[in-house]
Each structure stands twice: as structure tokens, then as C-alpha cells.
Chains A and B, each alone.
Chain A
Amino acid sequence: MKKTRPARPDVPFDARREIAVQLSDVSFGYDRRRPVLKSIDMTIPRGKVVAIMGGSGCGKTTILRLIGGQLRPQSGKVLVAGQSVPDLDRDGLYALRRRVGMLFQFGALFTDLSVFENVAFPLREHTELPEDMVRDLVLMKLNAVGLRGTAALKPSELSGGMARRVALARATALDPMLVMYDEPFAGLDPISLGVVGQLIRRMNDALGITSVVVTHDVYESLKIVDYLYFVSEGRIVAAGTPDEVRRSQDPFVRQFVDAEPDGPVPFHYAARPLAEELSRVI
């Protein structure tokens, strides 16, 4: 179990496999005074499911946005399939995004389109496929997530878990090489949670894609991922395989895995001592 900034040569994957995503010494902030990410190093090999974990506001979604080119790092390198994302022009970035799927926190389905049209959207926008082939592909994608029967429904008629499964079908419509998941388990009931988790794993293995899952759900992640990065206050504070994480005695990992209210991440927001505060004359 590595403590901080795991060195790239040590990542416990088969080094011969191609690297899908690599972040080297990446720093980012919306302004110079408040850095969100500080010197992040991360390697995501092709074909693996990797989780980025951390509390709310620790910068994990920012990492996804950097990988997807929605944000540019202040320093460091972001490589996806060997291409430097910040250096791509608009056409290059769009060409890359056609090979990358993203599942947003609540699905982000287009509310004015039916489930069928949502999944058909990337196919219609980026291919010249005949209508009958689009129909077959959409139904196959929906079948893979178990929701072929919802093709005619509107997104507003779906439950949260179903919406995320439709979004997963849409994200994989163009058979991407990489799929990014932003909090795929947030707000789901236990059954939907298990279904979405298993779908992430199954789609990853069946389609030979690479998955990056940003989440704070340790229990579900440990069941499906190959490797985990823990992010706190903009830094990678720990990393390891699910077994290493379960055995880890690192205080942050233990607090996170055991859901302890206090620890390296304090329960109280920074404030003056309580006695001093209460004795203050107003």
C-alpha cells in the first residue's frame, strides 16, 4: 500500500499493457490562490476499472474534467491514449471525445428526447448509418443494460438507476476506448447500486474498454474495481488494489473505509476553540 503519490513504475499492473490515461505532476485551480489539485500523478492502464475516491469537494470530478479536456491543467501533463489533451485543438479534442464516453452523476439524459433517441444521439451525430442499423444498434445497447423495453419512454419516466443505465448505453453507443463515470452510485437504492456496479464491470470486460469511476462509495467500488486512488485536499494520499485497501492501516483509508466521522478528515470545520467562542462577550 503506497502512502502518497505512487510512483508510476510501481503501479501494480502488467507494465506491458498499454496505458489509457496518464496524469503527470498535474496541478489545477480555478484561480492561483485556491489550488484544487496539487501535483497529481496517476496511471490508468487499458482494460482496467480504476476508482478515484475521496470526500465531496476533494477534486476528484476535476480529474475527470481534465481527462475529458473540459479543463486545462495549470501545470503537468494529461495524456489520453498517448495524446496530450491540453495541447489538442478543438477538432482534435472532439475527435478524442468520440472515443471517450462519460456517464454524468444523474445521467444527463436529454429530457426532450425519448430513451431511444438519447442512445441514438451519438450515432446520428457522428455516423452516417442507415436508420435500420441505428435502430438495431440502439436496441442492442439498451438490451445490454436491460432496458430495451423502455425505448419509447421519456427520461422523466425512468427511475434514477434506470436513467443511469440508459446513460451508460448512450456513453457506450460508439464503442469508446474509455468510459468515465462521475458518481455513478450516488442516490441509488441497494438493488440499483448493485446493478449499475455490475454493469460497469461487465461492460468494461465485454467491450474491452477502460473505466475510470469517480465515487465515494467504498463498499460498491471494492467489489468491482481493479485499483483505487484516494484523493484528499487535491492530493493522492493513498492508492492500491481492493485487497490492499481492505488491509490498509493508513489513517485516511481506514477513516474512509470504516466511515468514521472523525480522523484525518476532521468532523469540525476549522473554528476558534468552543470555550473561547462561548465566553466571548458580544
Chain B
Amino acid sequence: MSSSGIARGVARGLRRVGGGTVETITRLGFASRFFIAVLYHTPGAFRRLRLTLREIYFSGVLSLVIILVSGLFVGMVLALQGVEVLERYGAQESLGIVVALSLVRELGPVVAGLLFASRAGSAVTAEIGLMKATEQIAAMEMMAVDPLARVVAPRFWGGVVSMPLLAALFSTLGVFGAYLVGVKLIGIDAGAFWGNMQAAVDFRRDIVNGVIKSVVFGMIVALIAVFEGYDAKPTAEGVSTATTRTVVGSSLMILAADFVLTVFMFRGVGL
């Protein structure tokens, strides 16, 4: 390859990187402004309480099956794996502690968040994206009704309210699943299972931190879902791309945010 060809290739590569960077920063700026606009329209969303309740139903109630079933099975598998390890040290009675702390601190918010992104986040993105593709959003604007207040803010808050409740239910069913396997199936003493759990789980340190995580994850999923839907190209391909971006983006953001939150909550600022 001639030197001018190499130079052209390098220039093309740099342009692509630069273009991608500028586009990412632009989208990030747009998403930030979008978030502020959603917060600005929050009072409107709660004035239209019926709409927000409807979104809590669609995001929360309709996600119950997958969350409850997943929670139950995660708890059961956690108990099987936990007992297998704890037996080596003769500490089967600590199963309740292992299961409860794993679920309340980590698995509840994180796995419920990932499931919530797949079930509810994708649905919200697809719905808003299709509303855009079929000109329903434009029609609303032309009727002097702000879609941010009428469509976006209720869906955002529906997600934010639903997520901590779903995470709590996930953890509850997980603990129940572990009880079924550990106590009823394997035969660990029920008193030790519940007693150790009660003694080891701290309300502020474990439960409150878990709730904070699930609220943050709820905001992440809800914001990404409404933003991707609103920003989707109004075509079939655009809506499908936006839905994928919601699931992938939310999942990665949940994992990254979980690491950062865990560092601050359980290790302090200095690691």
C-alpha cells in the first residue's frame, strides 16, 4: 500500500473515531437534557395519577410472574450451592445468612433489574418508539399536549416505583425458595435458618442499601427505556434497534452502577 493510501486509511479511521465520540457525547448531552425535562414534567405525571398508576400496572404488575418465578429458582439454586460449600466447613446452619445477604444486597436488585430491563424496559421503548413511528407523538404535539408530560413522565415514574417493589419481592421469593430447599428438602434446622438470618441481616446496612440500589437501577432502566423510545428512528428497524439498545444499555449500566454503589456502601470511599 502506498504512503498516501496509508495516510488516507489513518485519516478515515480517525474521522470514524472522532465522529463516534462526538455522536456519543451529543447523545449523552441530549439524554441529560431529556432527564431534566422528564423531572420538570414530574408534577404533571402525578397530576395525571391514573396514567402513572396504569404504567405501574404495565411495568410492575405484569412483570410479577417472571420476577417471582426467577426469585424462587435463584433462591433454590443458591441454597443448593450454598449448602454444598458450607457443608465442607460444617456450617450448614449459616445458609440463611448466605442466602439472605446475597439476595438482599446483590442478587435481588441486580437480577430483578436485569429482568425488569428485559421485560418492562424493552416494552416501554417499543411502545414509545411505535407511537413515534405511527405519528402519535407528533399528533399529540400538534394538539398542544406535551408528550413528555403525557407519555414519557408517567412511564418513567411507573418504572421507578415498580422496580424496588419487584426487587423486594424477588428477594422474598428467593429466601422462600432457599427455605424450601435448605430446610424442607435437605433438612437444615428451621430455627437456625431463620435465627441466624435475623441476627446477621442489618436493616440499615443491608436492606436499606439494597433498596437504594433497586431505586437507582429502576431510574437507570426507566430513563434508558423512555429515552431510547423517544429517540428511536421512526421505522421498524429503528424501533427494533432502540429496544435492543435499551436491554443492552440498561444491563451494562446496572452492572457498572452496582459495582460503584457496592464500593461506596460496603467498602467506603477508600476501598
Question: What chain B residues lie within 8 Å of A122 (beta carbons)?
Answer: 143, 145
Judged by a CB distance under 8 angstroms, whether A13 is at the interface is no
Query: A105 contacts the other chain (Cβ, under 8 Å)?
Result: yes
Q: Which residues of B contact A111 (CB under 8 A)?
A: 131, 134, 136
Shortest C-beta distance, A77 to chain B (Å), equals 21
Interface residues of B in 141-179 (CB under 8 A from A): 141-146, 150
Determine the distance from Cα of A105 to Cα of B142 in the docked complex, in whole angstroms: 14
CB contact list, B220-271 vs A, under 8 A: none
B144 engages A95 (CB within 8 Å) = yes
**Given B135, B140, B141, which contacts A106 in the complex, CB threshold below 8 Å?**
B135
* A268 contacts B by Cβ under 8 Å: no
Given the complex of chains A and B, what is the CA–CA distance between A102 and B134 in angstroms? Answer: 14
By a CB distance below 8 angstroms, the chain B residues around A121 are 143, 145
Interface contact A98-B142, CB-CB below 8 Å:
no
- Residue B139 at the A interface, CB < 8 A? yes
- Measured CA separation A126–B134 after assembly (Å): 23
Given contacts A110-B136, A111-B134, contact A125 B141 (CB under 8 A): no
A158 proximal to B (CB < 8 A):
no
A68, CB-defined interface residue at 8 Å: yes
Q: Are B135 and A105 in contact (CB under 8 A)?
A: yes
Q: How many residues of A contact B (CB 8 A)?
A: 21
- A68 contacts which chain B residues (CB < 8 A)? 142
Interface residues of A in 53-110 (CB under 8 A from B): 68, 70, 93-95, 97-98, 100-102, 104-106, 108-110
In the complex, the answer to whether B143 meets A125 with C-beta atoms within 8 Å is: yes
- Report the Cα distance A202→B202, complex, angstroms: 72
B201 proximal to A (CB < 8 A): no
Chain B residues within CB distance 8 Å of chain A: 131, 134-136, 138-146, 150
CB distance from B130 to the nearest CB of A (A): 8
Of B136, B143, B145, B146, the most chain A CB neighbours within 10 A belong to B143
CB distance from B54 to the nearest CB of A (A): 9
B135: nearest residue on chain A (CB-CB)? A108
- When the two chains form the complex, which single residue of B139, B144, B146 contacts A108, counting CB atoms closer than 8 Å? B139
Which chain B residues border A105 with CB–CB below 8 Å? 135
Q: Kindly identify which residue among B136, B138, B150 contacts A70, using a CB–CB cutoff of 8 Å.
A: B138
Known: A105-B135, A108-B136. A100 touches B142 (CB 8 A): yes
Q: Which residues of A contact B139 (CB under 8 A)?
A: 102, 104, 108, 110
List 30 A-B pairs, Cβ < 8 Å.
A70-B141, A70-B142, A94-B144, A94-B146, A95-B144, A97-B141, A97-B142, A97-B143, A97-B144, A98-B143, A98-B144, A101-B142, A102-B139, A104-B135, A104-B138, A105-B135, A108-B134, A108-B136, A108-B138, A108-B139, A110-B136, A110-B139, A110-B140, A111-B131, A121-B143, A121-B145, A122-B145, A125-B143, A125-B145, A125-B150
CB distance from A123 to the nearest CB of B (A): 10
In the bound complex, CA of A105 to CA of B133 (Å): 12
State A106–B139 Cα separation when bound (angstroms).
11
Complex contacts, B150 vs chain A, CB 8 Å:
125
Assembly CA distance A174 to B125 (angstroms): 31
Q: B54 — nearest CB in chain A belongs to which residue?
A: A112
Could you tell me the distance between the alpha carbons of A70 and B135 in the complex, rounded to whole angstroms?
A: 13
Residues of B within 8 A of A98 (CB): 143-144
Residues of A within 8 A of B143 (CB): 97-98, 121-122, 125
| CB of A90, distance to nearest CB on chain B (Å) | 9
Asked whether, in the complex, the Cβ of A126 is within 8 Å of the Cβ of B138, the reply is: no
Nearest residue, chain A, Cβ from B143: A122
CB pair A126 B135 closer than 8 Å: no
CB distance from B167 to the nearest CB of A (A): 27
Contacts of B138 in A (CB 8 A): 70, 104, 108
Bound form: Cα–Cα A220–B131 in Å: 30
The complex places the Cα of A111 from the Cα of B135 at a distance, in Å, of: 11
How distant is the Cα of A95 from the Cα of B142 in the complex, in angstroms?
Answer: 11
Please give 7 more A-B residue pairs, beta carbons under 8 A apart, in addition to A104-B139, A106-B135, A111-B136.
A70-B141, A93-B144, A102-B142, A105-B135, A108-B134, A122-B143, A125-B145
Which residues of A lie under 8 Å from residue B136 when comparing CB positions?
Answer: 108-111
Q: State the Cβ distance, A92 to closest chain B Cβ, in Å.
A: 11
Please state if A106 and B142 are interface contacts (CB–CB under 8 Å): no
Q: Which residues of B have CB within 8 Å of A94?
A: 144, 146
Inter-subunit contact B141/A126 (CB<8 Å): no
- Please, which residues of chain B bring their CB within 8 A of the CB of A95? 144
Question: Quick one: closest A residue to B150, CB to CB?
Answer: A125
Q: Which of A175-192 contact B (CB under 8 A)?
A: none
Provide the residues of chain B in CB contact with A104, threshold 8 Å. Answer: 135, 138-139
- Chain B positions within 8 Å of A93 at CB level: 144
What is the CB-to-nearest-CB distance from B82 to chain A, in angstroms, rounded to a whole number? Answer: 45
Q: Which residues of B contact A97 (CB under 8 A)?
A: 141-144
CA distance A108 to B144 in the complex (A): 15
Q: How far, in Å, is B34 (CB) from chain A's closest CB?
A: 16
Whole-angstrom CA separation of A99 from B114 in the bound complex: 45
